[in-house]
C-alpha cells in the first residue's frame, strides 16, 4: 500500500512540473514540502548558471559520454542545491537542504559495553 502511495506521490510531483518542493523523510515516510530555494531552470548553459549563481562549491567530473546514447553528465554542488548538466545544459536542479550535496557522514559505532 505504501508503495502505491509513494508511486502516486512521485507521479504527482512529476506532473506538477514547475512547482518547487523538497522531498523529505519523516518517520520513514516520504513527504513533500515547499521549497524557496532559487535554482537554475532546465536548458540554461553552464556559463549562464555560473553567471547567475556564482562558482559552485564543488564541480564533479563528467561521467558517461562514451557514446551518443550516454551523453556526459556533470554535477555542480551549491549551498542548498545541486545542478545536473547533460553536456553544458541544465537537465535538473534539486534542493539538497544542506550546505552541499555531499553524502552524510556515517553514524558512529556504539561503544562497547563495560566489562564487569
78-96: per-residue pLDDT in tens? 999 999 999 999 999 998 8
- Check whether residue 71 and residue 57 sit in a common domain: yes
Q: Which structural domain range is residue 57 located in?
A: 39-102
Grouping H, G, I as helix, E, B as strand and the rest as coil, residue 75 is: strand
- Check whether residue 32 and residue 61 sit in a common domain: no
Q: Could you give the percent of the chain with pLDDT greater than 70?
A: 59
Helix (H) or strand (E) holding 114: none
- Check whether residue 21 and residue 55 sit in a common domain: no
pLDDT surpasses 80 at 9: no
DSSP structure class, residue 70 = B
60 within some domain: yes
- Check whether residue 2 and residue 28 sit in a common domain: yes
107 within some domain: no
- Check whether residue 48 and residue 26 sit in a common domain: no
Helices (H) and strands (E) in the chain, counts: 2, 6
- Scanning the structure block, which residue is given the C-alpha cell 512529476? 14
By CB atoms closer than 10 A (0-12, 13-18, 19+), residue 22 is middle
How many Cβ atoms from other residues are within 10 Å of residue 81's Cβ? Answer: 23
DSSP structure class, residue 97 = S
Q: Which of 5-14, 17-26, 74-83, 90-99 has the lowest mean pLDDT?
A: 5-14
116 within some domain: no
- Check whether residue 28 and residue 45 sit in a common domain: no
Amino acid at each position: 500500500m505504501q508503495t502505491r502511495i509513494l508511486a502516486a506521490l512521485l507521479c504527482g510531483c512529476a506532473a506538477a512540473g514547475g512547482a518547487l518542493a523538497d522531498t523529505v523523510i519523516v518517520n520513514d515516510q516520504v513527504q513533500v514540502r515547499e521549497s524557496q530555494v532559487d535554482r537554475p531552470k532546465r536548458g540554461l548553459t553552464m556559463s549562464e548558471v555560473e553567471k547567475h549563481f556564482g562558482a559552485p562549491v564543488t564541480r564533479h567530473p563528467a561521467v558517461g559520454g562514451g557514446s551518443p546514447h550516454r551523453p556526459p553528465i556533470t554535477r555542480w554542488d551549491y549551498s542548498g542545491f545541486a545542478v545536473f548538466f547533460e553536456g553544458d545544459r541544465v537537465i535538473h536542479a534539486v534542493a539538497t537542504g544542506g550546505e552541499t550535496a555531499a553524502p552524510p557522514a556515517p553514524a558512529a559505532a556504539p561503544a562497547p559495553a563495560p566489562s564487569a
